[in-house]
Amino acid sequence: MTRGLVFGAAGERPAVEEITLEPVGAGEVQVRVEVCGVCHTDLHVVETGGWGMRFPILLGHEGAGVVEEVGEGVTGVAPGDRVVIAWRAPCGDSCRACRRGDLRRCSNNLRVRSRMHRAADDARLSPVLRCGTFADRVIVHEACAVKIPDALPLDQACLLACGFSTGAGAALWATPVHEGAAVAVIGCGGVGLAVVQGARLAGAAAIVAVDVVPEKLALALELGATHAVDASGGDSVAQVRELTDGGVDFAFSAITAPSGLLDAVRMCAYAGTATLVGVPPPGRTLDLDPELDLFHPKVAIAVTHGGDTIPQQDFPFLAQAALDGRLDLARFVTKTISLDEVPDALDALHAPQGVRTVAKL
């Protein structure tokens, strides 16, 4: 029996149900999902009443596992391969960005028609971000099945599918941090800590971690931050500017509150870049003064989607960096739970404990 975490209708609590799979189609890959991280985006799907997707929805998008079966024409992976399931899969040739060779800005991710159904009524499930990896097995586009080195444990590897790559990719690829740069990271949850790691790998000279929780700041210092600012103790913008001799080159907002982006803009030195990493709640606005906040300091605002990664090249790079000890993925897995415990773990994201909870399926 294959089980999956189904979000049946707006307002309903997600529940583990039996699901069925159609046969694997051409260019598709069936993966036995071993682990899936509990990421805020699934909570966002639940809290926004489906995030515009069609019900019923199959939750989960931070999965890793082992290839069970491949469809006709698949050459990149074979049964038995260990893979991370990517939710970004640049089309390569059909959008404007890919046609000019800029796969990081692809607006047309590859996808397959969902092969997953709810057993109770045979309704076709909409998998979150084309993944749906809170399920024992899923069928995905072959471009989304990214082979990773055997030596990397799957519970660490799954974080490459979303949270870790989003943070590290923000600093490495979306708004590339240059060597010697001064960086501020607002919010030191899993994604923010991954920004810290990415900035360190990029060679930043100063990395200022900003949060209101002392334990998170302590962990940020262990993972590469050079300074910590406790935002509960007053004006964090002024503190960051003072610590970095007038502001940072790159400020990343890794919290969902819109105030994070505003603070990021104001932490920037002349010609700095403020990058929005966390998904903001709907319907909010920013109180920005375009003259004082943007024009005179010549601050740019950037947005990253999942670290703007090219999964087939970046996930193996990050995996190897973790194996070499240049990234500390192991520190990011702080709790392991079962699939049945995921609904409670999603609720717990309102007041997160530890860095990342991973479900073993």
Q: Which residues bind Zn ion (CB under 5 A)?
A: 39, 41, 90-91, 95, 98, 106, 108, 162
User: Is the CB of 157 or the CB of 237 nearer to Zn ion?
Assistant: 157
Q: Which DSSP category does 135 fall into?
A: B
Measured CA to CA, the distance from residue 130 to residue 124 in angstroms comes to 13
Cβ proximity to Zn ion, 91 vs 337, nearer residue: 91
Cβ closest to Zn ion, residue 207 vs residue 277: 277
Neighbours of 74 (CB within 10 A): 18
Closest distance to Zn ion from the beta carbon of 35 (Å): 14
* Backbone φ and ψ of 113, nearest 5°: -65, 135
Least distance in angstroms from the C-beta of 41 to Zn ion: 4
- Of the CA atoms within 13 Å of residue 315, those in its CB half-sphere come to 32
Nearest distance from C-beta of residue 77 to Zn ion, angstroms:
21
Q: To the nearest whole angstrom, how small is the minimum distance from the Cβ of residue 128 to Zn ion?
A: 9
The H or E element that residue 3 is part of is strand 2-7
Cβ 90 to Zn ion, closest distance in Å? Answer: 5
Alpha-carbon distance 253 to 239, whole Å?
16
Least Cβ distance, residue 44 to Zn ion (angstroms): 9
Query: Which of 138/181 has CB closer to Zn ion?
Result: 138
Taken as a whole, the chain contains a residue count of 361
- Least distance from Zn ion to the Cβ atom of residue 112, Å: 16
As measured in angstroms, the least distance from the Cβ of 264 to Zn ion is: 20
> Using an 8 Å Cβ cutoff, are 58 and 4 in contact?
yes
Residue 41 or 275 with smaller CB distance to Zn ion:
41
Q: Which amino acid is at 353?
A: Q
Instruction: Provide CB contacts within 8 A for 4, sequence distance 6+.
Output: 16, 17, 19, 58, 59, 60, 116, 125, 132, 134, 135, 136
Query: Is beta strand 206-211 parallel, antiparallel or unpaired with respect to 182-186?
Result: parallel
Pick between residue 106 and residue 208 the one whose CB is nearest to Zn ion: 106
Contact predicate 15/90, CB 8 Å: no
How far apart (Å, rounded) are the C-alpha atoms in residues 7 and 4? 10
361 close to 34: Cβ distance less than 8 angstroms = yes
CB atoms inside a 10 Å sphere around CB 275: 22
Nearer to Zn ion, 31 or 110 (CB): 110
Task: Give the nearer residue to Zn ion in terms of CB position, either 38 or 70.
Answer: 38
Residue pair 99/168 in contact by the 8 Å Cβ criterion? no
Instruction: Say which residue the tokens 């929805």 belong to.
Output: 57
